[in-house]
Structure formats: C-alpha cells, structure tokens
Structure 1
Amino acid sequence: MDRKTFLKYTSSTLAGVASGFNLSKAFGGQKVRLRNHKLSKNWAWITETEGSVDDWKYRLEKLKKAGFDAILPQKNFDTIIPAAEKVGIEVHAWLVSLQRGSDTEAQQKHPEWFMVNRKGQSSLSDPAYVDYYKWFCPSRKPVHEYLREEVSELLAYTEIKSIHLDYIRYPDVILPISLQPKYDIVQDKEYSQYDYCYCSVCRQRFKEQYGTDPLELKDPAQSREWKLYRYNQVTTLVNKIALDVHEQNRLLTAAVFPTPDIARTLVRQNWPDWDLDAVLPMMYHNFYDKGLSWIAEAVKEARNELPKTTALYSGLFVPAMDEKELAQAFEYAMDAGADGISLFTDTAMKGKHWKNLRRVIQKGS
C-alpha cells in the first residue's frame, strides 16, 4: 500500500491520574494474560464504517473473539455504539485534527488558518505530496477553538471512552525513507517546500519570543529555538484538549509517529510531553526499511521517555505482514513493554491473520 492510499484511509497519563482517573479501570476492557503474566489490551483503527447494527455486531464479534477490546472509528457512531455495547467492545472516537484536506467549510471561510511553508506557499493552495495535505496552523487560537468544539461534539456521545487525536502534528518535513521513492523524492535534509509553518502568526510570535524572524535564520533546520517553538505549539493544543476531555471524565489518546526521536525529526511532534492517558505509536516497520524486531526497539525507546502511568499500544500495519509476522510483531511489542497493540486495520486481516493472532494473544491465558 502506498502512502497516498494509506493517508486516504485515515483522512493519529499523568493528567488523567491528576483528574481522578483510575487508569487500569478506565482502560479495563477484557484483558488476557500472556505467558510472561503481562495483561494486554488490543485495539483496531476502523476505516470502513458503513453497515447496519447487525453487520457491525458480526464484525465486532470477530474482533472480540480474537482478543480485541477497543475500536477507533471516525463516524457513524449511532450505528456502531449499539453494536459495540452488545458485543462488549469499547468505542473511542478517532479525530483527524490538523490535517484538514476534507474540511471544505474551513478551507472556504478561513484560508488564513492553513500552514505556510518556507517558500511562502500555503498548504491550502500548494499542498505537499498529495492534494489533501492541507493543514491547520497550531499557533492560531481560532484553530484551537475550532478543534475543541469538534471534540465537544464527540463527547456528547456518553458511550465514547476517549478522544483519539490523529494527524496532530506538522506535515512531514522528511518522509519515512521507504516512502520517498514512491514520490520520486530524495530528502537528505529539510527542504523549504516541505518545511512548515512560516505564516504571519508563527513568524510574529517566534520573533516576540526569540527576537528573530524564522525566515531570517541562517539555517532553520539547525535552530533549536525554532524546533522547540513548533513542538510547543502542538503540545499546547493537545494539552488544552486534554483539559476539556478530562473535565468530562473521559480519556485522551493519540496516534503518533513511532518513536519520540522520529516524531520530533520528521513531523515536529514531541508526544512524550503531551497529557495523554494512552499513546498509540504507528510502529510501521516497513515505512522505515526495518525488520520486525525493530518494533521492540521502538517500544523501548518510547517507554524510556513516557511516564510510567501512560499506556502504550503498539500500532501495527497489517498490509505489511503475513499471518506469522503479525503474531511475531505482537510478541515483540509485548515483550518490550507495550500494553497491547492497535491494528491498521481490521479489514486488512485475512483468515490466517485472525487465527494466528488469536493464538498468540490467548497463549497462556
């Protein structure tokens, strides 16, 4: 599956403890005991959401039987929630946040909200890579309010356990290595057309804080202050949303790039600083030309920076694995310290995928 198809499919703590959550209870679900006596909780991102309640009941029963406890759909909650309640699977609302390629209303009414690259091109009129790579700028307060209102609408469904933030980052200044050939791109450094955001608000706020217009930096890629500024814009937005979500006694989760270093380097995403109750890093080993065992390395790197109270569910890219590799990926993640996995996606699973994964999840239970 190429990046365009992948992106089209998806178009993603301590604060929880402080808010009075019992994390183990909140993320309870049905857990199974592995041979190392570690409990797992398992999720699936849901991209295909059509169907009746009965259709969904059948689909979710397959997930439940395989050892899954939670799903992450983007829409059709009125149909999915009743089916999930019958089966006993949690529903978490998957929100595509800063990437707004399908938000025609915002594009028409608020073109100034969209990120601008170092060449001065708006992501609205000149998107990078694919035509829907149109991004809100996280430095703008109206953007914060717009997204918080979307979160509020999702929280109106009392059955939803968490808000799950996706695309909560900047556009890829550097694509994962295995994706660059698909676009006939060599990104051996940060190039101006992929480097965001240099809109008027970002430039003015950075200058107020550091005394320099980022466009006047000799080498923006080497500026620690400019990196920190952008990390902090996303962190501030996430932590505002966390306050809203926790006030409603719900949880906040996020889909993020696979390790903290990769996330900071490729998409300005410093997710260990976010007030999350759980993180679902997309540990898609094939995107980085890595073998399966790299998943264990990624889990360990993430665990080194995350608070111990933040749950970690390793995101696995099903189209890149056969049934034996998927089962092995689960074991690598769990042995390295993950609390479970999240599949992209359930509809990519074939018969042998289900059989092998169910076997390894239930081993020792």
Structure 2
Amino acid sequence: MKLSQLLLFFLVISTISCVNKDEKTTFKFGVWTTADAKKADSEYTKEFKKYKAGGIDEVLINTGTDPKLLKRLVPLATKEGLKVHAWIMAMNRPGDSIALQHPDWYMVSKEGKSCFDNRPYVDYYQWLCPTRKESREHVLGLVEELAKVEGIESVHLDYIRFPDIFLPISLLPKYNLVQDEELPQFDFCYCDECIKAFEKIHHKNPKKSHNTSIDMEWKNFRLNAIKSVVNDAYKIAHKYNKNLTAAVFPYPEMADHMVRQRWDKWNIDEVYPMIYHSFYNEEIDWVGYATQQGVADLEEKKIKINTGIYIPGLKSDKELREAILLAKENGAKGVSFFDGNALSDSNLKTIAATKAILK
C-alpha cells in the first residue's frame, strides 16, 4: 500500500471513530422555563448555573413572545454553556393584545361559540384560527421576530394544534367531564373562513354533516391547516438560519385523535413529545412505549425526538432516572423536563448522575 493510500486509510478510520464518539455523547438534556422581565440578570445567571451543574444542556424559554427579553437572556444562558430555544405559545394566544382587537381571528366551536369570549376548559384558552389569513400571519410574524434573535437554536412552537377534543384521562374529573365521544363545545374550528375554505375544496358544509367525527375530509382539513402554519414557520426559521422545533402530544396517532395534530407529517427539525404518563394514568414504562411510537413514525425522516418528562408526575428520583433511560433506549435523542421550577436539587443531582453513565 502506498504511503498516500495508507494516510487516507487512517484518516477515514479516525473520522469514523470521531463520529461514533459524537453519537455516544449527543443525548441532550433540556428544560422548559418561563421568564419574567422583572427578574435581575444575577437571578437568571444563578438559575442557569444551577441547570448547567445539574446536567442540563439547553433551556426552552417562554418570554411571552418578547424578542427584547429573549435578547437579554440569550447571552446570560450561553455564557453558562446552555443553548437557548425561543418557546412560543402559537395558536393559543392568551392575552395577546393585538389579537384581542380582532374577534374574528379566533376559533369557533361546533356550537357556534368563539374562543374570543367563550373559552373551552380554562380562561387562557384563546385559540386563533390557523386558516384565516390575518390570524395565521400574526402568528407567523411573531415567529419571525423570535427567529431574528441572534444566538438562539430554534423557535420552539407550543400549542401548535387545536383545543383538546379529548382531554387526558386524568384531567377529566377536574372538569367533571365524560368524553366518550366528540362533544360540540370542544370541537373547533367552524368559523366562516374555515367553512368557506373547506367548501371550496370538498363542495360540502361540515355543519350539515351527519357525523363530523367520522368525516375524514373535515378532520384532514384541520390537520392540514396546522401543518401549513408549521411548514411556513419552518421556512421563516431557516431563513434566519435557525431550527424549528415543537412541543407536541405523545405520539402522532394520539395527537391526531386528541388535538388535531399530526406532527409526523410536518416540516420540522426536532419535536419534544410531552410524554406525561401521569396525565394518562399510565405507569412509568409508558414513557418508553410512547417514545418508541414516535420514533417509529419518523423512521423515514430526519426529525429528532426529545422525550418530554413531567417532573411533578414522578414518584421518586428512581423514576426520574428510569424515565430518562427509557427515552434513550427507545430512540429519543434527548429529554426535556417540565419545568424548571419543578426541578429540585435532588432531581438535578439525579439528572447529572444519569447523564454521566450515558456518555
């Protein structure tokens, strides 16, 4: 073998070795946290130091869609070695001062009641229509303002869906509800704009459907309305060399059924399925099951999955460790914890110790 060929051989072997090493260390740890502009920089520095010492790699920060506050926090977090994602409540826009000036922007239920002044479940459910030009452009404009902020990893979409047609089973008693079928007061969006757009495509009015719960065209119309917003947000994020990520329901079929969200069909870089097992009265092993379901649905795509873990739903640090390992074993590329306020010192020690054995 010639010297040049020998050097090339060793270069290839070295490259493969480095890639394999990187693959072993890419499992990441994140946390969702909500910012408060009144907090001092020193308080944030203390918080970010605590996360970093506890094995956290990234923070997904809800600034109330305030790019100015985000610009302030990014250098504080990055100085402590944390990557930052701009977390935005997308279609659900509680207290949005601009949207509230336009009552026609809001989703309408099958009963004909608008989220503007008749909100399902809770008062902060103020959902904007993904079909109406003005409301979707408003949301995409907010995405763009966040995407412009230097130093962020991604714009992180949350509430990128419809209101819950079915609540997680453990929440039903809280609202004194039985949801054995699709109930009209929780079935959205029947606004004039959506009906008009649907009729143009399918030449029928869903309001006159015998059973909208089995009308696949009507269901797909709404799935596609959300998909369209996501795909446009993806273009915007990438225009500014940022990724697009999203917090989503546990796995695509479940998300489809519960909230009109089919995230395996989106243009997106990473998803963070909220696999909150306690919401569904499931045992800890369900974290692995739901993670694997999502991984399988994305098998042909390059979209990464980061399993969302609900800290208050865990019984112990032992379960926390088990949840992390179940996510890793079932194909997740990372985990994220909800939320920063819920993480105890003991939790952070467990996360750091578990991270150490995964390297």
Scaled by the length of structure 2, the TM-score of the pair is 0.89
**1:272 aligns to what?**
264
- 1:39-64 CA-to-partner distances (Å, cap 9, x unmatched) read 31111101244532222222112211
For each residue in 1:266-318, what CA deviation from the matched residue of structure 2 results, as whole angstroms up to 9, or x when unmatched? Answer: 10001111111100000000111111100111111101111441111000101
From 174, 178, 183, the equivalent of 1:182 is: 174
Aligned-partner Cα distance in 2 for 1:138–1:266:
17
- Please give the alpha-carbon distance, in whole angstroms, between the structure 1 residues aligned to 2:333 and 2:98: 39
Counterpart position of 1:247: 239
2:73 paired with 1:91: no
**Aligned partners of 1:230, 1:78: CA distance in 2, in Å?**
34
2:312 corresponding residue in structure 1: 319
Give the aligned partner of residue 195 of structure 1. Answer: 187
- How many Å separate the matches in 2 of 1:200 and 1:92? 35
The alpha-carbon distance between structure 1 residues 126 and 316, as it changes in their structure 2 partners (threshold 3 A), is: same
User: Structure 1, residues 169-225: CA drift from partner, whole Å, max 9, x if none?
Assistant: 000011011101110000000010000010111111111111110001100001111
Corresponding position of 1:156: 148
> Any conservation in 1 of the 2:308–2:338 contact (CA below 8 Å)?
yes
Q: Which residue of 2 aligns with 1:30?
A: none
Structure 2 gap segments, 5+ residues each: 1-20, 64-68
Code of the residue aligned with 2:214 in structure 1: it is: Q
Residue 160 of structure 1 deviates from its aligned partner by 1.4
> What's the counterpart of residue 106 of structure 1?
99
**Structure 2 counterparts to residues 45-60 of structure 1, below 5 A:** 45-49=32-36, 50-60=38-48
Aligned to 1:350: 344
Matches within 5 A, 1:1-365: 37=24, 39-49=26-36, 50-75=38-63, 76-107=69-100, 109-306=101-298, 307-321=300-314, 322-365=316-359
Q: CA deviation at 1:364?
A: 4.8
**Take 1:364 and 1:89, find their aligned partners in 2: how far apart are those partners?**
19
Larger radius of gyration between Structure 1 and Structure 2: 2
Q: Which deviations, in whole Å up to 9, do the C-alpha atoms of 1:130-183 show, x marking residues without a partner?
A: 112111010111122111211221123111111000001000011011101110
Q: CA deviation at 1:38?
A: 6.1
Question: 1:65, 1:358 within 8 Å by CA — same for their partners in 2?
Answer: yes
Divergent runs of 4+, >4 A: none
User: Where in structure 1 are there 5+ consecutive unaligned residues?
Assistant: 1-32
Task: Note if contact 2:140-2:229 (Cα within 8 Å) is conserved in structure 1.
Answer: no
Q: Aligned AA for 2:32?
A: W
Aligned to 1:26: none
- Aligned 8 A contact 2:252 2:294 in 1: yes
Q: Aligned letter for 2:342?
A: A
Same amino acid, percent of matched pairs: 36
AA matched with 1:275: N
The 2-side partners of 1:52 and 1:268 are apart by 40
Give me the whole-angstrom Cα distance separating, in 1, the residues matched to 2:82 and 2:342. Answer: 19
Q: Partners of 2:301 and 2:228 in 1: how far apart? A: 21
Select between 353-362 and 194-203 the one with higher mean Cα deviation.
353-362
1:19 alignment partner in structure 2 = none
- Tell me the CA shift for residue 264 of structure 1: 0.2
Given that 2:248 and 2:274 are in contact with CA atoms closer than 8 Å, whether structure 1 keeps it comes out as yes
The secondary structure found in structure 1 opposite 2:305 is strand
Aligned length: 332
Equivalent AA in structure 2 for residue 363 of structure 1: I
SS of 1:88 mapped into structure 2: coil
Q: Kindly provide the CA deviation profile for residues 83-139 of structure 1, in whole angstroms up to 9, marking residues without a partner as x.
A: 1121111111001011122113311x2100100000111111111101121110101
* 1:248 Cα deviation from its structure 2 partner: 1.2
Contact 1:315 1:341 survives alignment (8 Å)? yes
